[in-house]
C-alpha cells in the first residue's frame, strides 16, 4: 500500500489552536482544535497535538506520513524560529525557540511564521488572493493582524517583522496600546477595540440600556450584529465609527503599499460586512486621488480557522 | 572602430532636469542639466535633450549609440508610461503619454518611473543599498518622495503607485496638503514644509529677527544650516521639530515595511545630517519594541543628481 505525505499545519491563537493534516494541494484530511488557554504551556499543547496525530495515523491505517510542519503563531519569526512576547499566551511562550522545541517531538523540517502571515499564505495559495500579486490579508479577531503579499510572496521585511498594520497610528493622542504607544489601529478595530469604544460610549451615555446590556453579556458580537440589523442607532453609530477608523488605516497602508485588495479573515466574523461597508467609504475618502475606487475590500472565502492551517502547511513550499 | 552602447538616463525635477549617457555598469560618460522651468512644455525640454545628444555623439566620433532610454519623472507610472498631474510641472505635462512622446524622437525602448523610484534604483544598483534586500530611499527636496526596495527590487504596488511616504498622515488635523488631505508628512518634512514651519513660528514670534531675515532671503537653506551650527536656538528648535515629525513618519512606515535602512538623498542637502539626528531619536522612540535600534538611517553617497539618472538608466535591466 502506498503512503501519502502530508504537512502538519498548526494555527496557534490566543484562545484557540487549530491544526490539521493537509495535502500538497491544500486538502484538509484531518482537522481538530484545542483551547489554547487550557494548555498553559507549549509542552501541554504539543503533547495533545502529537497524541491526536497518532490517532489520525491509526484511523488512516498508517498510510499517512508527515513530511514537514508549519506553524502560525502570534509574534512567530520566520527567520529565527523564535516566538517573542506573544500577547495572550503564557509565560513559557515569551521567549521560545519554537522550531527547536517542536523538533523534539518529531525531527522533520519545521517552519514558523506569525498567525497573520500564515493566513496570508493560505489566501495566496488557495483563497481569494490566489491570482493576486499584491494584497494585504487582515485577520480581525481579538486583535488586528496583517500579512502582506508582495510580488506573489508573503513579505517579511529584513527581520521578519513587516506587516504590523494593527500598529499603524491613527491618533497620536488616542487610546494607549499594549505596545506602549498611543492610538494604534488595533485599539479601535478589533474585538478588544470595540469593547473600548462601547466603554467610551457608556461614559457618555451611562444609562443607555442597549450598551449596559451588551456589557453585561460580555460584549456579545452576535447580539451587536442583530441590534445593528434591526437599526439600533447607537450600534450603527459604533460600527460606523469603527469602520471609519479602519478605512483611515487602510488608506494609510495603501499610501505605502498600493495593494490590489485588502482581504478580511477571522473571528470578528459576522460584523465584518457591516463594518467593512463603512470602511470602504472611509478608505476611498482618505485615499490619494489616483488610488480612489481602485483598491478592493474583500472577505476571505476560506472557512474560519482554515486559512491559518492551510497557510502554515505551505511554509515549506 | 567598435561602437559602445549606452542608456540615456533622464531625471526630471520640478526645477531642474538632469540627463546623461550611462554605461551598463553605471559609469556616467556625459552629463548635463537644464532648468525645467525654462522649458515650459515637454517638447521644448526634449528638443534640448536630443540636441545635446547629437553634440555628445559628435564629440565621441559617433562611437556611442543609445540602446534605450529611462526616465524618472514626478508621478511617472512604470506600468502605463503615463505622467499624471505632476506637481510643479506645466499644463502639457498633466496627462501625458511620455513613453509615446519620447519615442517620436528616437524609436528605441523607453521606460519611465517616478523620480523617487529612479533614485531607489540608483541606490540599489550602485549606491548605499547595493547589498540590501529591503530598504526605503527618501528624496528630500521641494517635497518628500520615496522609492521602496523590496526583496532586492523596486516595488511598484499593483498599479505603480506604491511608496508615497510623503503622504503618510502624521496629524489628521494638521496642515492642508495639495493632495487634498491634512497633515501629510511632506507638509512638514521638505523645503516646502520648512517654509510653513517658519511661517508658523513667525506667527508666534512676529518680531524674531532671525526668522524675518530668513523669510526675506527666501528661506535660504545654507543660511539656516549655518545658524543651526552656531547654536541659534530657534533654528535648532525648528530642525528638532522637523526631525521629530520625520521620525514619526519613518516609524509608521517601518510598522508596515520593517526595512533594513532609510536612505536619504536630494536637495534639502546640508540640513540632512542635522535633521536626521533628531529623526533617528524620534524614530526609535516611536518604533515598536522589537524594531527599536534595528533600523538604520543613512545618507546617500551618490552625488546629487546622479542617483536619479543612474537609476533611470537601469530601468531596462
Q: What is the pLDDT of residues A275-291, one digit of tens each?
A: 999 999 999 999 998 89
The pLDDT value given to residue A108: 95
Q: Are residues A108 and A137 in the same domain?
A: no
* pTM for the structure as a whole: 0.91
A289 → chain B, closest CA residue? B179
Beta-strand ranges (E) seen in chain B are 4-12, 16-22, 28-35, 64-72, 82-84, 95-97, 110-113, 135-140, 144-150, 153-155, 261-265, 296-299
The pLDDT value given to residue A252: 96
Task: Give the model's confidence band at B239: pLDDT under 50 very low, under 70 low, under 90 confident, else very high.
Answer: very high
Residue A114 contacts B, CB cutoff 8 Å: no
Q: Are residues B26 and B78 in the same domain?
A: yes
Q: Do the beta carbons of residue A295 and residue B295 sit within 8 Å?
A: no
Of A49-58, B6-15, B61-70, B130-139, the poorest mean pLDDT is in B61-70
Residue A292 contacts B, CB cutoff 8 Å: no
Handedness of CA B165, B170, B172, B174 (dihedral sign): negative
Which of B114, B140, B157 terminates a domain? The answer is: B114
Residue B63 exposed, middle or buried by CB count within 10 Å (0-12, 13-18, 19+): exposed
Handedness of CA A232, A237, A238, A239 (dihedral sign): positive
Tell whether the model's pLDDT for residue B269 goes beyond 80: no
In a domain, A212, yes or no: yes
CA distance linking residue A156 with residue A154, whole number of Å: 7
In a domain, A126, yes or no: no
Query: Helix H segments across A106-220?
Result: 115-126, 191-204, 209-216
Residue A117 contacts B, CB cutoff 8 Å: no
pLDDT in tens, B92-147: 999 999 999 999 999 999 999 998 999 999 999 999 999 999 999 999 988 899 99
The pLDDT value given to residue A217: 82
Q: Which of A157, A247, A262, A263 to mutate to test the interface with B (most CBs of B within 10 A)?
A: A157
Q: Which of B138, B178, B179, B256 to mutate to test the interface with A (most CBs of A within 10 A)?
A: B256
pLDDT in tens, A255-273: 999 999 999 988 776 677 8
* Å between A273 CA and nearest CA of chain B: 24
For residue A78, list chain B residues with Cβ-Cβ distance below 8 A: none
Tell whether the model's pLDDT for residue A1 goes beyond 60: no
Tell whether the model's pLDDT for residue B1 goes beyond 60: no
Torsion of CA B298, B304, B309, B315, to 10 degrees: 10
Q: Are residues B145 and B269 in the same domain?
A: yes
The pLDDT value given to residue B70: 97
Q: Do B168 and A252 touch (CB under 8 A)?
A: yes
CATH number, domain of A39, equals: 3.30.420.40
Residue B288 contacts A, CB cutoff 8 Å: yes
Candidate from A85, A153, A158 with C-beta closest to B259: A158
Handedness of CA A125, A130, A135, A139 (dihedral sign): negative
Task: Give the model's confidence band at A86: pLDDT under 50 very low, under 70 low, under 90 confident, else very high.
Answer: confident
Task: Give the max Cα distance, chain B.
Answer: 69
* Å between A100 CA and nearest CA of chain B: 21
Q: Do B255 and A164 touch (CB under 8 A)?
A: yes
Q: Are residues A151 and A117 in the same domain?
A: no
**Rounded to 5°, angle at Cα A146 from A140 and A151:** 140
Q: Are residues B32 and B110 in the same domain?
A: yes
The pLDDT value given to residue B99: 97
C-alpha cell read off for B193: 514644509
**Rounded to 5°, angle at Cα B44 from B40 and B47:** 160
Q: Are residues B109 and B183 in the same domain?
A: no
* Number of domains observed in the structure of chain B: 2
Q: Are residues B8 and B33 in the same domain?
A: yes
Q: Are residues A78 and A32 in the same domain?
A: yes
Q: Are residues A172 and A252 in the same domain?
A: yes
Contact map slice: A 21-60 vs B, CB within 8 A: none
Kindly indicate whether the ipTM for this predicted assembly is greater than 0.85, answering yes or no: yes
Please count the other Cβ atoms lying within 10 Å of the Cβ belonging to residue A25: 7
Chain A and chain B share a number of CB contacts under 8 A equal to 121
Q: Do B161 and A248 touch (CB under 8 A)?
A: no
pLDDT in tens, A118-150: 999 999 999 999 999 999 999 998 889 999 999
In a domain, A21, yes or no: yes
For residue B76, list chain A residues with Cβ-Cβ distance below 8 A: none
Q: Are residues A19 and A69 in the same domain?
A: yes
pLDDT in tens, B43-98: 999 999 999 988 988 887 777 778 999 999 999 999 999 998 887 788 899 999 99
Q: What percent of chain B has pLDDT over 70?
A: 98
The SS3 of residue B34 is strand
Q: What is the DSSP letter of B79?
A: T
Candidate from A134, A172, A289 with C-beta closest to B157: A134
Residue B169 contacts A, CB cutoff 8 Å: yes
Mean pLDDT for chain B? Answer: 91
Q: Are residues B187 and B259 in the same domain?
A: yes
The domain of A290 spans 131-299
In a domain, B312, yes or no: no
In a domain, B272, yes or no: yes
Tell whether the model's pLDDT for residue B3 goes beyond 70: no
Candidate from B133, B164, B255 with C-beta closest to A255: B164
Contact map slice: B 213-242 vs A, CB within 8 A: none
Q: Are residues B148 and B96 in the same domain?
A: no
Residue A112 exposed, middle or buried by CB count within 10 Å (0-12, 13-18, 19+): buried
Tell whether the model's pLDDT for residue A2 goes beyond 60: no
What is the pLDDT averaged over residues A221-227? Answer: 89
For residue A85, list chain B residues with Cβ-Cβ distance below 8 A: 289-290
Task: Give the model's confidence band at A36: pLDDT under 50 very low, under 70 low, under 90 confident, else very high.
Answer: confident
Q: What percent of chain B has pLDDT over 90?
A: 72
The pLDDT value given to residue A270: 64
Amino acid at each position: 500500500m502506498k503512503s501519502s505525505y502530508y504537512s502538519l499545519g498548526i494555527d496557534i491563537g490566543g484562545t484557540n489552536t487549530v491544526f490539521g493534516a493537509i495535502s500538497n494541494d491544500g486538502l484538509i484530511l484531518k482537522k481538530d482544535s484545542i483551547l489554547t488557554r487550557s494548555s498553559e504551556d507549549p509542552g501541554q499543547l504539543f503533547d495533545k497535538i502529537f497524541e491526536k496525530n497518532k490517532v489520525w495515523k491509526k484511523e488512516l491505517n498508517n498510510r499517512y506520513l508527515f513530511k514537514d510542519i508549519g506553524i502560525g503563531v502570534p509574534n512567530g519569526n520566520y527567520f529565527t524560529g523564535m516566538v517573542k512576547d506573544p500577547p495572550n499566551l503564557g509565560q513559557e511562550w515569551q521567549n521560545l525557540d519554537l522550531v527547536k522545541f517542536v523538533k523534539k517531538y518529531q525531527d522533520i523540517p519545521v517552519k514558523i511564521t506569525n498567525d497573520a502571515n500564515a493566513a496570508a499564505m493560505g489566501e495566496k495559495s488557495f483563497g481569494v488572493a490566489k491570482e493576486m500579486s499584491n494584497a494585504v490579508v487582515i485577520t480581525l479577531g481579538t486583535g488586528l493582524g496583517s500579512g502582506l503579499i508582495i510580488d506573489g510572496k508573503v513579505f517579511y521585511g529584513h527581520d521578519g517583522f513587516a506587516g504590523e498594520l494593527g500598529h499603524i497610528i491613527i491618533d497620536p493622542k488616542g487610546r494607549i496600546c499594549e505596545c506602549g504607544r498611543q492610538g494604534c489601529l488595533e485599539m479601535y478595530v478589533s474585538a478588544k477595540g470595540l469593547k473600548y469604544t462601547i466603554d467610551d460610549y457608556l461614559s457618555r451615555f451611562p444609562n443607555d440600556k442597549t450598551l449596559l446590556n451588551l456589557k453585561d453579556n460580555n460584549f456579545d458580537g452576535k447580539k451587536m450584529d442583530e441590534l445593528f440589523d434591526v437599526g439600533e442607532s447607537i450600534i450603527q453609530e459604533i460600527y460606523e465609527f469603527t469602520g471609519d477608523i479602519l478605512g483611515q488605516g487602510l488608506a494609510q497602508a495603501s499610501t505605502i503599499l498600493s495593494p490590489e485588495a485588502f482581504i478580511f479573515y477571522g473571528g470578528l466574523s459576522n460584523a465584518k460586512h457591516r463594518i467593512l461597508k463603512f470602511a470602504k467609504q472611509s478608505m476611498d475618502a482618505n485615499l490619494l486621488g489616483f488610488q480612489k475606487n481602485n483598491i478592493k475590500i474583500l472577505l476571505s472565502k476560506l472557512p474560519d480557522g482554515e486559512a491559518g492551517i492551510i497557510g502554515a502547511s505551505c511554509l515549506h513550499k
